[in-house]
Structure 1
Amino acid sequence: MSSGAKQVTRYAVETIPGVIATAGWKTLANISNSLDATAKTAESQTIKDSRIASGTLVTGADFAGDIDTEFAYGIQEDLLELVALNPWKNNVLTFGGTVRKSLTIERAFTDVENYQVFTGGHLNQWVLTIPEDGIVTSKFSVIGMGRKAFTVSQAKTPAAALEATQFTNQNVGNILIDGQKKAGMCATQLDLTIDNTMQIQKCLDFENNISAVLETVMKASGNVTLAWSKNTAELYEKQFLNEPISLSYTLKDGKGNQYELLLPRVLLSAPLPSGGAGDILNTQFTYTVDSVAPTITRIPFIADEGTVGDK
C-alpha cells in the first residue's frame, strides 16, 4: 500500500533527448501528476482449431499526462522556457520559439520503492488559470518518448522544491485592453492556453520506437469573463469586423514581484449576456492569438534602499 503524501515528482533537463539526465535534478511541487504510459495493442486475427480468440499483441506505447501545480513567482522559470521554446532574455520570455529541450521526469512512490522514470519529456501545453475566487493554477501537459521502472531513484541529489507564496485571484491587477483599463469591464475569470501542437515521430525500431517529439504550429487561446457594460458591448462588436485587440494583465505577489502577460494581438468571440432579473450580467469572451507572439515579463521587486543618511 502506498500513501499519496509519499509521491514525489522530480525532473531534470536532458543532454540527449530520451536519455536519463544525470545532473541538474529538481523537485517540482505539484497538485497532481497523471504522466503515464499507455500500451497500444492489436488483436490477432489468426484462425486456430478452436473458436477461442488469439488475444492481443503490444504494438507500441504512448507516454503522456498532465502535471497540475499552483502558480507562484520564480518557481517555474525553467519549465516556462521549455513551453516557450525560447530562453528568458532581459526578463522577457517570448512564446513560439524553436529552442527545443526535453526532460527526464521521475514519479517517485517513495514508500514502496517504485520509481517510474519518463524520458524525452516535452512540454506540449501550458494552461494558466485565474479563477474568480481561489488559487491561480499552472498545468503542464507532457509528451514523452519512453519509460522505465526502477527500485531506486534515478534523480541524483535533487534540489528541494522552491518555496514561494502562490498567487490567488487577489493578486491580479491591471487587466488592460488596448493598453487601457476601461470603465465597467470588470473581469471575473481569466485563463490562457499555450499549445505547441507537438507530434510524435515513430520509427520501425524496437529500441527507439519514438525517435522524436516535434513542435508544429504554436497556438494560444483563452477565455475572459467580463461584466456587461457599454465598453463591453463595444468589445462584443469587434468580432463581427474581425478586429483584433491587445490584452495584458499582471500578477503581483505579497513581496512585490510581478509577472506581466501580454497578448499583443488577439481575435474575440462572445455571446450576448443572458440572465434573469436578479442576475448580474456578464459574458465570456473567447480569444485566440493572431500572428504576434505572446510574452511574459518578470518584474522582480527591488527594495528601496533609501537616501544617504537614512538609518
Structure 2
Amino acid sequence: MSKGSSQLTRIGVETKVGVAATAWQTLGFVSNSLDAAPQTTESQTIKDSRIAAGTLVTGVEVTGDIETEFAYGIHDAILECVAFNSWNNNILTFGGTTRKTFSIVRGFSDVDIYYLFTGCHINQWALSITDQGIVTSKFSIMGMGRVASDKAPTGTTTAAPIATPFTSLSVGDILIDGAVKDGMCASQLDLTIDNSMQVQKCLGKKDNNGIGAILETIMKGSGSITISWSKNTAALYEKQFLNQPIGIEWPLIDSAGNKYIIKLPKVLLSAPLPSGGGADLLTTQFSFTVADVAPTITRVPVVVTP
C-alpha cells in the first residue's frame, strides 16, 4: 500500500531527445497525471467460433499534466521548453525554434515503484491567478518513451528548491496599453501558451513506441481576464467590434522582492456585456488571443545590498 506523501517527481534535461537524463532535479508539485496508455486495434480474424480474437497493442501514448504552485526561479528551465527558446538577458520569448526536452520520473518511494518517461515535450503551459489564492502553473506533457523499474534512475539528484509561491497579493499593477485604467479592477487572470504539438509515427521506432518525433506547429496564446464594469471597461468592450488589439502586462512579485513581468504586446478581445442581479457587482470576462507579436516573461531578481 502506498500513500500520497511518498510520491515524487524528478525532471532532467536531455542532451539528446528521447535519451534518459543523468542529472535530476526534484520538482515540487500539486498533482501529476503523466502516464502511458496503450493504443489498441481489434483483430478482425475469423476463426472456428464466434468468439472475438481480441485486441493488439499497436502504439503507446505518453501524456499528462503536472500542476504546481508558481514561484520565482523554480520553473525557469521548464519554461524554456515551453517557449522553444532560452533566457536572454533575463527575457524569455515564446514561439522560438530551439527544442528542449526532459526526462521525467514518477516515483512511489514507499513501495519502490518508479516510471521513467523520456522525450518529454511541453505542449501547453497554463497560468491561473484568482483574486484570493495561490497562483498555479500547469504543464501539459507529450512524451515518447516509458520504462518501469523498482529502482529510481541513476544519476545525481538535487532536492526540490525552497521558494514561496506567488499569490493573488503578488500581482502588481495590470497595464492595458501601458497604463493603469481607472475603474478596471481585475479579479481573475488566465493565460495559456499552446505549442499545438503533433506526434509523428514511424515504422521501425520500436524503442520509442513507434514515435519518430513530436513536432511543434503554430504557437497559440490565449486566456481571459475578468474586469469590473466601468466607462473604461466599456471602451475596451468596443474594441472587439473594430478588431483593435491591445497590450496587457502584469508583474508577479514574491515576498523577497523577486519579480516576473509577463507581457502580451498584442491581443485581440472578445467579451459579452455584464449581467447580474441588483445585489451583484458587475463584471465581464474578456477572452483574448495572442496575435502576431510573441509574448515574453522578464525576470527581475532582487538586488541584495551588502
The answer to whether residue 304 in structure 2 is matched with residue 303 in structure 1 is: yes
1:8/1:27 contact within 8 Å kept: yes
SS in 1 for 2:114: strand
SS in 1 for 2:214: strand
Alignment of 1:223-234 (within 5 A): 223-234=224-235
- Worse-superposed segment, 204-213 or 284-293: 204-213
TM superposition shift of 1:128:
0.6
SS in 1 for 2:241: helix
Work out the CA distance in 1 between the residues paired with 2:207 and 2:267. Answer: 44
Alignment of 1:72-151 (within 5 A): 72-151=71-150
What runs of 5+ residues in structure 1 fail to find an aligned partner?
A: 306-311
Look up the match of 1:309.
none
The answer to whether residue 14 in structure 2 is matched with residue 14 in structure 1 is: yes
SS in 1 for 2:125: strand
TM superposition shift of 1:249:
0.3
Look up the match of 1:180.
179
SS in 1 for 2:138: strand
- Worse-superposed segment, 222-231 or 41-50: 41-50
SS in 2 for 1:234: helix
TM superposition shift of 1:157:
2.2
Aligned length: 304
1:28/1:161 contact within 8 Å kept: yes
Query: Which deviations, in whole Å up to 9, do the C-alpha atoms of 1:147-203 show, x marking residues without a partner?
Result: 010111104221000111111101101100000000000000001000011111111
Work out the CA distance in 2 between the residues paired with 1:179 and 1:16. Answer: 41
Percent of residue pairs bearing the same amino acid type: 62
Work out the CA distance in 1 between the residues paired with 2:305 and 2:207. Answer: 58
Work out the CA distance in 2 between the residues paired with 1:66 and 1:220. Answer: 18
1:25/1:155 contact within 8 Å kept: no
| TM-score computed with the length of structure 1 as normaliser | 0.96
In the superposition, relative to structure 1, how do residues 192 and 254 fare at CA in structure 2: closer, same or farther (>3 Å)? same
In the superposition, relative to structure 1, how do residues 267 and 155 fare at CA in structure 2: closer, same or farther (>3 Å)? farther
Alignment of 1:29-108 (within 5 A): 29-108=28-107
Look up the match of 1:252.
253
Partner letter of residue 70 of structure 2?
Answer: F
SS in 2 for 1:25: strand
What runs of 5+ residues in structure 2 fail to find an aligned partner?
A: none
Work out the CA distance in 2 between the residues paired with 1:285 and 1:202. Answer: 39
1:106/1:155 contact within 8 Å kept: no
- Superposed CA RMSD: 0.9
